[in-house]
Amino acid sequence: MRQNPARRTALLDAAIDVLARDGSRGLTLRAIDAAASVPTGTATNYFRDRDDLLGQVMRRTRERLAPDPAVVERTMRAPRDAKLVAELMRQLVDRMRADRASNLAMLELRLEATRRAALGDELGGFLTAEHTELIDFHLGAGLPGDRIGVALLYFAMSGLLLDDLTLPAIPDQYRTDELVATLVARVLSAPR
Amino acid sequence: MRQNPARRTALLDAAIDVLARDGSRGLTLRAIDAAASVPTGTATNYFRDRDDLLGQVMRRTRERLAPDPAVVERTMRAPRDAKLVAELMRQLVDRMRADRASNLAMLELRLEATRRAALGDELGGFLTAEHTELIDFHLGAGLPGDRIGVALLYFAMSGLLLDDLTLPAIPDQYRTDELVATLVARVLSAPR
DNA sequence: TTCTGACCACTGCAAGCGCAGTGCTTTAGC
DNA sequence: GCTAAAGCACTGCGCTTGCAGTGGTCAGAA
């Protein structure tokens, strides 16, 4: 097993591209080699088997999709109101649109996770942790809304991003800004 | 090209099972034959090529996931309030959970549609039509909420169903009924 | 008898994997 | 600064797997 971290990352990024372009069906060690412009057989030296590969790809996509802490810090200087939440959501959408490949790869991995127990456990662990963190961050930062409201926000954003990625014809009918602003305003409103 | 409709449907249902079990990666004509318990080579006689197959599979999943008109009719006898919308949403979730295979197949098809233009157009047409119908039905039936509210409801349910399908650990943290009821109450509330 | 679909066997093709072998580069030890 | 050793990049090959497609036979219905 080779250790060169730069090369490993390059291979993983290539794998994400392949996954986005050709799907799980097209993801082979040779295809990764080609996408990364390295000699045939290189990927074989870096990944034990498909499970190992998918696990590493998953971790890499998490890295790539994570928000820049500096940007978060800067954004969070604003007052804790719905406008700020909407801004955070808009940044989320922008981030996802800017790295469409990682997002598509994540979807492929989600599906793959339904049939590979090991991957499912790992992905499940990561995403539930992320989900919990999101809620804790939101409530801890004093942003408006209750626990269930934040969860609903999360689900709605998931759905929006799913369509944005795979069937843009639907979200394209709306103005994203308006959609997000309305969603935040309503879903985080106090229960009556 | 063979015409026997019963056999064709059986093959398509088998294809949906294969798609759910093994993903796009595992979907081959031979795999369909095996899953449908018909002799090797049969599926070849029913599908011109992969595009043709995927298109037919897509149409079949739409059929399988469509609500029973009788149930809808019965449900719609109730007064037009948020409770009724919540009930409709709950029925949606139940319907999706009852046919997990079709749903997973649809997700696979969504991803496949991002790389096959023909499938993308077809799927896009179907789903945008469905989305428009949903909104028209909702508003036409005098259910509470405005256009954007219904769209948000749609996105949130998509997200919820996506997680329910691929990462149940997250939605399992909540009571579905409560989630749906709260979502409906808030997202369809009149703008202030 | 004729037509349609079911069934089956065979061929040919393509792709991927894993491995082994070679040569280069870097590091460590002295 | 030299030498030895280890790690890594690169290459090619053999093997296996698995699929698509074709053509031909058989059975049943019109």
Q: Is the pLDDT of residue B139 over 60?
A: yes
Closest CA to A107 of B162, B143, B38: B162
Provide the residue type at A85 as one letter: V
Question: Structure pTM?
Answer: 0.93
**Percent with pLDDT over 90 in chain B:** 87
Minimum-distance CB partner of A167 among B123, B159, B167: B123
Does pLDDT of B159 surpass 90? yes
Give per-residue pLDDT as tens, B106-115.
999 999 999 9
Average pLDDT, chain B: 94
Nearest residue on chain A to B129, alpha-carbon basis? A170
Q: Judge whether residue B192 has pLDDT over 80.
A: no
Quickly state the pLDDT bin for A133 (edges 50, 70, 90).
very high
Read off the pLDDT band of B4 (50, 70, 90).
Answer: confident
In chain A, ranges of CATH 1.10.357.10 domains: 65-189
Any long-range contacts for B40-47 (C-beta under 8 Å, 24+ apart)? B42/B7, B42/B11, B43/B11, B43/B15, B45/B1, B45/B2, B46/B1, B46/B2, B46/B7, B46/B8, B46/B11, B47/B11
Q: Is the pLDDT of residue A191 over 90?
A: no
CATH of B1-47, one of 1.10.3430, 2.60.40, 2.120.10, 1.10.10: 1.10.10
Q: What is the mean pLDDT of residues B148-156?
A: 97
Find the range with the poorest average confidence among A80-84, B24-28, B134-138: B24-28
Contact A155 B156 (CB under 8 A): yes
Residue with tokens 């971290």: A5
d(CA A14, CA A189) in angstroms, rounded, equals: 43
Please state which of the four CATH numbers 1.10.3720.10, 3.40.50.620, 1.10.357.10, 2.40.50.140 is assigned to the domain occupying B65-189. Answer: 1.10.357.10
Pick the residue from chain A with its C-alpha nearest to B156: A156
Q: Where in chain A is the domain with CATH 1.10.10?
A: 1-47
Q: What three-state secondary structure class fits B47?
A: coil
**Length of chain B in residues, anyone?**
192
Q: How many Cβ atoms from other residues are within 10 Å of residue A185's Cβ? A: 18
